[in-house]
Amino acid sequence: MSRITRFAARDPGPAARLAGFMAHLRDNGLRLGVSETETAMRALVEVTAADPREARLALKAVCTGSADEAARFDDLFDAYWRSDGRVRRKVVREEAAKERQHTRSSQAADGLRSESAGSAHGPDDGREDGETAAEGTGRLIASRVQNLMRQDLRELVAPEDVAAAERLARRLAAAIRDRRSRRRRAARAGEAIDFRRVVRRSLSTGGEPLHLPRRRRPDRSVRLTVLCDVSGSMTAYARVFLAFVAGLIRGEKTADAYLFHTRLVRITEALRDDDPLRALNRLTLISDGFGGGSKIAANLDRFARSYARRLVNARSVVIVMSDGYDTDPPEAMTAALRRLKRRGCRIVWLNPLAGWRGYAPVARGMAAAMPSLDLFAPANTLAALAALEPEFSRL
Amino acid sequence: MTDWESLKDALAAEGYIAPADLTMALFIALKLSRPLLLEGAAGVGKTEVARTLAAVEKTRLIRLQCYEGLDAAHAIYEWNYQRQLLAIRAAAEGGETGRSVERRIFSEEFLLQRPLLQAIRQETPPVLLIDEIDRADEEFEAYLLEVLSDFQITVPELGTITATSIPRVILTSNGTRELSDALRRRCLYAHVDFPSRESELRILAARCPAVEPALAGQIVGFVQALRKEELEKTPGIAEMLDFAAALVGLGVNDLAADPRVLQATLVTLLKTEADRAAVSSEVAQRLAGRAA
């Protein structure tokens, strides 16, 4: 019993404790409203609320809404209800809200999150930054690399950038979508007869269907998936690309995003956080190892085998943002992209170096990738990305 | 014994071995009449939950399979156009006036009820299974939300139809796309995983009593080991049961006894060519050896 949290004597009662628990969950990023508190209360009435196991299971069913939340719930439950007999003072909602303003973008809320996002350290992370960066980016930006390498993502991406990128990302996504819908319209113009309207109209002509109104399929949006390389050689461009990724995720409900260096991390959930600043904080925490070596082929392969199986289909456009300087053998790159391509998606590769005059994709990894790509384009500033709109609409 | 544990036993009696969090979520969903959203990989038995629940409650199961492009005409109602057109022609010959024809052809008689409408018009609350909601598009999801909160459907020509009984709604999702927050908030949630070794043994015992305990242990061990391999399509519970049935049918009582038989029965577990190639005879033998 000693494990159970003791509540302060002046605390008003079980209902307030539960409200405090809901606030605790909310502070930890679960999206819960007042109605959930009510539902939780009603759920606890149905079970033996004094039995910790039943209460835990009941609250879990009510309060969680995704696999990620379900996985974190047990820790959050323990932290609130079973904190080894420590006295919990702030159970009342107002106080919790006040506290939240302070912790909004700092440790308390994010500590737990980093735990669940977990284990970001690769064995060869970070330490060989200098080499890869110098080799990868060339003379032009070598001096900037030194400065940027130790910065974290918060300093790299400004909220204004995200807003600008959000607009841009929306435009690009729309460019692809519109193009697709026009094509469909031409190919399957009025593929089905709208019987409902036929019957309506034929009433006035004595049952003679003189007009045959037709229907066509509504426009279907494409699903954008972005894989952003944040290895050492890409550090200089991280600002642009991460802003773009953040904008894309925040602007497009169906978009999906990943970072990779030596490992692959899904960042969609983190970027969807209501608070843009907190989103970047979460991103910083989960992308530990940022600026390390690059294993492009291995990561693409991992992506194709894991997430892509669920999330990539024929309506997807996979955008890879990388300079193509890979430590894996080129054959691996070819194989990985082929595997990905089998999902039926289109693949776009945005390479910051391609913007340089006289650049040719001769890096071995890049050359191996070329045959599988639907579009290979330069991009190193937001403006350059914006200029891609016509290219995207041709996809 | 509390109520939710008796639900667990009732499910078990119908051959469904449910983990604690799933049972609790189901129990509360029934008590509070809220929809339950089940998420998890393909083949973990999400759809089966609804089927079993219908059996436990001795009620009808109404199933709406979602797919891309699913629209109101297939989910809610549709007019029977062929009959309507015939009725109009017949009426024109009989000299019936436009107004009365209109009233007649837009009546219940010409209405085709699709799953959602059927579900709210049952005498006894049915189990409504909305399968693979993630395949339907967002517009449909929004519409569904409206139906699930009000349990009434408006047919412009007929007016609003309110529910005679509130169906027990179960939604499943494979996670091919993110569901909207609104839908998640509307539903209770349970994540369904592949079962643990003990649960899977109990499932096997419940579904295929003919399997000897020793062989059952081998089968479950083998399938669980296979799930850890890198496969394109991880074998689910249904595949495991097929595998067991195949082995029993062939009269096998030791998995490691005959490599050829094992390799042949793998068709029940591995459903793509790449997976077949990945699990060679040696790999299968190694897994079988470990499972024994």
Q: Quick one: pLDDT at residue A260?
A: 85
Cβ contact, residue pair A54, B177, below 8 Å:
no
DSSP B21-72: HHHHHHHHHHHHT--EEEE--TTSSHHHHHHHHHHHHT--EEEEE--TT--H
Which one, of B255, A395, A123, B238, lies nearest residue A377 by Cα? A395
For chain B, 292 residues long, the average pLDDT of each consecutive 10-residue run is: 82 90 93 92 89 94 88 86 85 78 86 92 93 84 85 87 92 80 87 91 90 90 89 88 92 84 89 85 83 66
Percent of chain A with pLDDT over 70: 66
Which range is least confidently modeled, A96-105, A371-380, B263-272? A96-105
Same structural domain, B10 and B62: yes
CA distance A342 to A84: 52
CATH assignment at residue B56: 3.40.50.300
ipTM of the complex: 0.82
Start-to-end CA span in chain B (Å) = 37
For residue B59, what pLDDT is reported?
94
Position A357 confidence tier, pLDDT thresholds 50, 70, 90:
low
Number of residues that make up chain B:
292
**Residue B36 with chain A: CB contacts under 8 Å:** 61
- Residue ending a domain, choose from B146, B161, B191: B191
For residue B42 the two structure tokens come to 């393909």
- A133-142 per-position pLDDT tens digit: 333 333 333 3
Task: Assess contact for A269 and A69: CB atoms under 8 A.
Answer: no
Q: Are B150 and B84 in a shared domain?
A: no
Domain match, B94 and B122 both? no
Query: Do residues B59 and B84 share a domain?
Result: no
Q: Which of B169, B191, B213 represents a domain boundary (last residue)?
A: B191
The mean predicted confidence, pLDDT, of chain A is 71
Q: Are residues B144 and B236 in the same domain?
A: no
Q: How far apart are CA A136 and CA A129, in angstroms?
A: 10
Question: How is residue A191 annotated by DSSP?
Answer: -
- Judge if B158 and B223 occupy the same domain: no
CB A220 within 8 A of CB A181: yes
Could you tell me if B83 and B68 lie in one domain?
no
In terms of DSSP H, where are the helices of chain B?
3-13, 20-32, 46-57, 72-75, 81-94, 98-105, 115-120, 138-150, 181-186, 197-207, 213-228, 237-249, 259-265, 273-278, 281-291
Considering only the beta carbons, identify the residue of B3, B24, B34 that sits closest to A57. B24
Question: How far apart, in whole angstroms, are the C-alpha atoms of residue A201 and residue A333?
Answer: 59
Å between B89 CA and nearest CA of chain A: 5
Query: CA B287, CA B285: separation in Å to the nearest integer?
Result: 5
Per residue in A168-196, pLDDT (tens digit) is 777 777 776 544 444 444 444 566 777 77
Residues B287 and B210 placed together within one structural domain of the fold: yes
Task: Answer whether B36's CB lies under 8 Å from B102's CB.
Answer: no
Task: Kindly tell me if the per-residue pLDDT of A113 is higher than 50.
Answer: no
Q: Are residues B277 and B219 in the same domain?
A: yes
Residue A325 carries which DSSP code?
Answer: -
Domain count along chain B: 3
Q: Hey, are the CB atoms on A33 and B185 less than 8 Å from each other? A: yes
Domain co-membership, B36 together with B159: yes
Which domains occur in chain A, in start order?
Answer: 6-103 (no CATH), 134-174+222-393 (3.40.50.410), 190-217 (no CATH)
Q: By the 8 A CB rule, do A112 and A75 touch?
A: yes
Q: What is the pLDDT of residue B131?
A: 93
What part of B 179-198 touches A (C-beta under 8 Å)?
A: 180-181, 184-185, 187-191
Which residues 26-55 in chain B show a CB within 8 A of chain A? Answer: 27-29, 31-32, 34, 36-37, 39-40
Last residue of a domain, one of B151, B167, B191: B191
- Residues contacting residue B81 through CB under 8 Å, at least 6 positions apart: A195, A196, A198, A199
Tell me the nearest-neighbour CA distance from A24 into chain B, angstroms: 18
Using CB atoms within 10 Å of the CB of residue A307, give its burial: 0 to 12 exposed, 13 to 18 middle, 19+ buried: middle
pTM greater than the 0.80 cutoff: no
User: Under a CB-based contact definition with an 8 Å cutoff, are residues A292 and A122 in contact?
Assistant: yes
Indicate whether B137 and B213 sit together in one domain.
no
Segments forming the whole domain that contains residue B29 = 3-72+114-191
**Do B216 and B281 sit in the same domain of this protein?**
yes
CB A184 within 8 A of CB A217: yes
The answer to whether A39 contacts B32, with C-beta atoms less than 8 Å apart, is yes
**B289 reaches A (C-beta below 8 A):** no
Q: Chain-centre distance of CA A65, in angstroms?
A: 17
